[in-house]
């Protein structure tokens, strides 16, 4: 049995996630896999995602991984990253498609005419290091309030239920960048590319025992 | 709020970091893995590696460098130079790059940008543009390390690349590269205002004030620099503190 399964559905590069997990959990067995059986048996599951959500959903379906993802998201420590967060919701504006509907809510795009306080145009995608204002959760342990994490995305999640919100960031309006429910935790930013704070979050995930 | 980024650029040839003036007169600056680790410790927001010879012999060396850096450093890594087909993009991503920058090949085959972005996502496709001023307020795209004119206007080219799926534009002023007299702010402003996607200003940074100007006057989302960091004139930390003191949002 593997300790941590990183779900591979053919979208983008999982090497960074794998490498970062190996660094924080040097003795764990970590596997990048597209095998539903392995995902079902893994102790923990990481659900990454890059690119466009319609492509991610399509590739996930084509590989027959939907059931394994749904099962993992309900039963074991589960970490969604970037599109892996967005896919958990019911609907996305990107391609106007349904998501996996694990959490109630939608995914919407940043407006294209955003400006900062100095009236400079704010680019989309939101790309770079932004401050994260977080709630209390074991995965934030040891991470400063307003620590910066690396983001790259054009869409963000709007959960229906405020109790699942774990963190917000601002661009320029506040948007939700982390959610949690029971055994599930998911973030919009890339912990695997967020230096010390990111590695700390991954380490907390590896040690997390949901109650 | 989102911080502006400082991106040190490592031009690599035959396994060494080098830096030239106006794309020639190369000078050795050290071991790429050591330099990358140093910049990471100093707080670099991303790192860019450009394989400036991109010969087949050097390719293997570059892959090993990227692999070693990706094992130790957890900030975004961009790699460019000699990317000709989607396969090259895949190989660099597999070696540990987070983004791949495409320059000459985007001109020869614009479909490559669309194909690579379609396959791996816009977030990992950077289009690098080498720009030369041809008349006041007008810049042209050059390729092959600045030796060949294309006839394309830079602003039009950048917006076309955005439409094809580029996630970011790395804009280098060939007139300023290595000159240390500052970014071509007019060029940066003209291109960034025309884009929805982020722009990285490059070519000409010689002082910390130049970095500030790139953001405040040029409107760049990120600034790329090589010489001012490679030879120890300034650390990245000093640069970030200075920029923050000038009122720029930075990750400190």
Which of A142-151, B40-49, B55-64, B164-173 is predicted least confidently? B55-64
Q: How confident is the model at residue A42, as a pLDDT?
A: 97
Structure confidence at residue B218 as a pLDDT band (50, 70, 90) = very high
Q: What is the pLDDT of residues B20-38, one digit of tens each?
A: 655 556 788 899 999 999 9
- Given B11, B45, B184, B213, the catalytic residue: B11
Q: How confident is the model at residue B55, as a pLDDT?
A: 67
Q: Which member of A127, A170, A199 has the closest CB to residue B198?
A: A127
Interface contact A125-B94, CB threshold 8 A: no
Name which of B19, B21, B9, B17 is nearest B178 in CA terms. Answer: B21
Chain A partners within 8 Å of B120 (Cβ): 12-13, 50-51
Q: How far is A10 from chain B (nearest CA, A)?
A: 9
Q: Which helix (H) or strand (E) holds A92?
A: strand A91-92
Q: How confident is the model at residue B139, as a pLDDT?
A: 98
Interface contact B1-A124, CB threshold 8 A: no
CB atoms within 10 A of CB A1: 8
Using the Cβ of B60 and the Cβ atoms of chain A, whether some distance falls under 8 Å is answered with no
CB atoms within 10 A of CB B32: 23
> Considering the entire predicted model, what is its pTM?
0.96
The predicted model gives A51-77 an average pLDDT of: 95
Q: What is the pLDDT of residues A173-189, one digit of tens each?
A: 999 999 999 999 999 99
CA distance linking residue A137 with residue A175, whole number of Å: 18
CA distance linking residue B212 with residue A87, whole number of Å: 39
Q: What is the pLDDT of residues B135-160, one digit of tens each?
A: 999 999 999 878 899 999 999 999 99
CB atoms within 10 A of CB B180: 16
In sequence order, the β-bridge partners of residue B132 are B140
pLDDT reading at B86 higher than 90: yes
Structure confidence at residue A10 as a pLDDT band (50, 70, 90) = confident
3-state secondary structure of B30: strand
Q: What is the pLDDT of residues A118-172, one digit of tens each?
A: 778 899 999 999 999 999 999 999 999 999 999 999 999 999 999 999 999 999 9
Confirm whether B184 is a catalytic residue.
no
Q: Which member of A12, A112, A148 has the closest CB to residue B3?
A: A148
Q: Which member of A121, A124, A172 has the closest CB to residue B1?
A: A172
In sequence order, the β-bridge partners of residue B47 are B77
**Best of B121, B168, B188, B214 to mutate (most A CBs within 10 Å, chain A):** B121
């Amino acid at each position: 049995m593997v300790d941590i399964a990183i779900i591979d559905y053919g979208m983008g590069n999982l090497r960074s996630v794998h490498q970062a997990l190996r660094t924080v959990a040097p003795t764990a067995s970590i596997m990048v896999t597209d095998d539903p059986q392995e995902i079902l048996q893994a102790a923990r599951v990481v659900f990454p995602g890059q690119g466009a959500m319609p492509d991610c959903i399509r590739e996930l379906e084509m590989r027959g991984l939907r059931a394994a993802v749904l099962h993992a998201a309900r039963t074991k420590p589960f970490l969604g990253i970037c599109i892996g967060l967005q896919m958990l919701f019911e609907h996305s504006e990107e391609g106007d498609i349904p998501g996996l509907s694990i959490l109630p809510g939608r995914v919407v795009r940043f407006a294209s005419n955003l400006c900062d306080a100095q009236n400079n145009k704010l680019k989309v995608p939101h790309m770079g290091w932004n401050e994260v204002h977080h709630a209390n959760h074991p995965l934030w342990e040891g991470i400063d309030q307003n620590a910066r994490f690396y983001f790259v995305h054009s869409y963000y999640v709007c959960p229906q239920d405020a109790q699942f919100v774990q963190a917000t960031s601002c661009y320029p309006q506040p948007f939700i960048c982390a959610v949690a429910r029971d055994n599930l935790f998911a973030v919009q930013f890339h912990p695997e590319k967020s230096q010390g704070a990111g590695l700390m979050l991954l380490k907390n995930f590896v040690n997390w025992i949901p109650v | 709020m989102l911080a502006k980024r400082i991106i040190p650029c490592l031009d690599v040839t035959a396994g060494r970091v080098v830096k030239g003036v106006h794309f020639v007169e190369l000078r050795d600056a050290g071991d790429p893995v050591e330099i990358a680790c140093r910049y990471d410790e100093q707080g670099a927001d991303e790192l860019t590696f450009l394989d400036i010879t991109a010969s087949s012999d050097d390719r293997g060396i570059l892959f090993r460098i990227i692999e070693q850096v990706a094992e130790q450093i957890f900030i975004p890594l961009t790699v460019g130079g000699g990317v000709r087909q989607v396969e090259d993009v895949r190989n660099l991503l597999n070696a540990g790059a987070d983004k791949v920058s495409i320059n000459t090949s985007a001109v020869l085959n614009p479909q490559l940008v669309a194909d690579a972005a379609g396959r791996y996502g816009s977030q990992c496709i950077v289009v690098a543009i080498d720009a030369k001023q041809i008349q006041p307020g007008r810049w042209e795209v050059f390729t092959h390390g600045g030796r060949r004119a294309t006839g394309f206007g830079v602003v039009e080219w950048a917006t076309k690349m955005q439409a094809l799926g580029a996630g970011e534009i790395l804009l280098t002023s060939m007139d300023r590269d290595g000159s240390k007299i500052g970014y071509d702010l007019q060029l940066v402003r003209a291109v960034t205002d025309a884009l929805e996607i982020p722009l990285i200003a490059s070519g000409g940074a010689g002082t910390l004030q130049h970095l500030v100007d790139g953001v405040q006057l040029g409107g760049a989302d990120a600034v790329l620099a090589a010489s001012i960091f490679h030879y120890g004139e300034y650390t990245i930390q000093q640069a970030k503190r200075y920029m923050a003191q000038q009122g720029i949002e930075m990750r400190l």
